Structure 1
Amino acid sequence: MNTSEGRHERTGLNCEKILTGGNHAESATVARPAHIVIIEDEPVTRTTLAEYLTSHGYTVTAFDSAERAETMLDSDRADLLLVDITLDGKDGLQITREQRARSDIGIILTTSLSDDVDRIVGLELGADDYVCKPFNRRELLARIKNLLRRTEVQRRLSRQTLRFHGFTFAFATRQLTGPDGQPIRLTRAEYEVLAELLRHPGAVLSRERLMTMITHRQEHPDARTVDVIIRRLRTKLEEDPGAPRLITTAHGEGYVFTATLD
């Protein structure tokens, strides 16, 4: 399919353009190419990125600010977000925090080489990856393909029922069943933290990242709130909560779901 430009232009969304490429892109579904949203306030970079990704078969929507991208992101029609950290107004870190609290969209931050602190904070807030400017376009494309594959696995996982150490966890119904077949009551926050750990078995998840998953939290939460939730989960899951084997601590980093999924 030839690249079509502007055919789906939507001024109501304040987007620059929606570009549609061919059908050979990595896709979150079989029926359509993956949809990438770009938020970049530098016009040349924005246009170059959009055209390059479109040439590789992706559907691309480009915006010059986070505020203008919100309607599209809220519609859940995007598979991956490529966002500049240093935007005017709402920056890339803020939009990462907001999206990770409500969505499993893949997020790649774009940043200058001098933004070490912001890169680390962005990853702690739930960004999946970052690339430095100026871009190596082939490296960026490889990272996008890899992230789309990973997020599709996570989405399939979220529709499943998982079993571990005698427990059964159903994402769709938010139910945890113990080895004795009896339901185990989880608070909303406990469910949200456990679900995120289960989506990333073996990975270290920071307190900050887990905090973003808690949808009903106080206005100015302390990341140590996650410690309290983890202690409660261990009480419900572990044979010996004082010597946990299912949810372990990575000291100074966060928590890891270490049980084997059946």
Structure 2
Amino acid sequence: MTAPLVTILDDEPEIRSMLADALEDAGFRTMSFSRATEFEAALKSHTPDVCLVDLGLPDRDGLTLVHRLALEQGAAVIIISGRAQVQDRVTGLELSADDYIIKPFDPAEVVARVRVRLRRDRAAPQSASDTARFNGWTAHFNRYTLENDKGEETPFSHAEGEVLRLFLESPKRLISRAHMQETLGGAAGESFDRAMDVRISRLRTKLCEDPRNPRLIKTIYGAGYIFLGDVSWT
């Protein structure tokens, strides 16, 4: 079995070397890049399992790149940044990053976070399929798209897909914020709550929900969420 591929995008050579050594010692394959243009060119011929992305890139806005990666690649995206403010972490998670690690960091922590992301992604789901149908919609988790009854497709990010799968695998059951945090990972607190709010809001928009009276993803204030659709996996 081929080892998972982790790409490292950071303009500091010491950090690239430190991360590559730690990840390779842990059994991962790595590819390292100092500029976004080199990284994006490599994506045409390589499919990473996890992307580690620094926000302070010399040739591209890191946050914009993170958002595009999350939507187009289907890989887990972990931000590594010296920006330690809560708002920076919130913004990164709102743009569909899966995790946010603040510099300086212990390489062992990064390895542990990568392993956690891969364990969650590869854990056997309750359903045996990557396709779920509900209320006129089809969710294709193998290509990260939502298809309506006219055959029109809308992409969703890796992070949005995690939330959607959680709902679809537990329809008509209350899902608490605590359960979401435990299942999806990340530190509990304001940044996690804000990220979940944004991901759910985006899913509602993609499902053409009325934000004032959503039919499928209902908020139970003070308790969590309930997905009210009739779900079948094929």
Q: Fold conserved (TM > 0.5)?
A: yes
Larger radius of gyration: 1
Q: Report the CA distance between 1:257 and its aligned residue.
A: 6.3
The structure 2 residue matched to 1:82, chosen from 48, 52, 55, is 52
What is the distance in 2 between the residues matched to 1:75 and 1:121? 30
Q: Report the CA distance between 1:45 and its aligned residue.
A: 1.1
Are 1:60 and 2:52 counterparts? Answer: no
What is the distance in 1 between the residues matched to 2:20 and 2:118? 17
* Residue type at the aligned position of 1:90: R
Q: TM-score, length-normalised on structure 1? A: 0.60
Aligned positions of 1:17-36 closer than 5 A: 31-36=1-6
What is the distance in 2 between the residues matched to 1:67 and 1:250? 44
Q: TM-score, length-normalised on structure 2? A: 0.67
Are 1:117 and 2:82 counterparts? Answer: no
Conserved in 2, the CA contact under 8 Å of 1:84 and 1:91?
A: no
Are 1:258 and 2:227 counterparts? Answer: yes
Equivalent position of 1:97 in the other structure:
67
Higher relative contact order (CA 8 A, sep 6+): 2
Q: Report the CA distance between 1:101 and its aligned residue.
A: 2.0
What is the distance in 2 between the residues matched to 1:185 and 1:61? 40
Conserved in 2, the CA contact under 8 Å of 1:39 and 1:65?
A: yes
What percentage of aligned pairs have identical amino acids? Answer: 26
Aligned positions of 1:48-197 closer than 5 A: 48-112=18-82, 114-153=84-123, 160-162=130-132, 169=138, 171=140, 184-185=149-150, 187-189=152-154, 192=156, 196=161
Q: Report the CA distance between 1:152 and its aligned residue.
A: 3.0
Structure 1 77/42 Cα, relative in aligned 2: closer, same or farther at 3 Å? same
1:26-50 residue CA offsets vs partner (Å, 9 max, x unmatched)? xxxxx20000000011111111111
What is the distance in 2 between the residues matched to 1:64 and 1:156? 40
* Residue type at the aligned position of 1:210: R
The structure 1 residue matched to 2:164, chosen from 194, 198, 204, is 198
What SS does structure 2 have at the residue aligned with 1:51? helix
Equivalent position of 2:202 in the other structure:
210
Q: Report the CA distance between 1:199 and its aligned residue.
A: 2.9
What is the distance in 1 between the residues matched to 2:104 and 2:205? 37
Q: Report the CA distance between 1:155 and its aligned residue.
A: 9.7
What is the distance in 2 between the residues matched to 1:187 and 1:41? 39
What SS does structure 2 have at the residue aligned with 1:229? coil
Number of equivalenced pairs: 198
What is the distance in 1 between the residues matched to 2:92 and 2:113? 16
In the alignment, structure 2 segments of 5+ residues that lack a partner are 168-174, 181-195
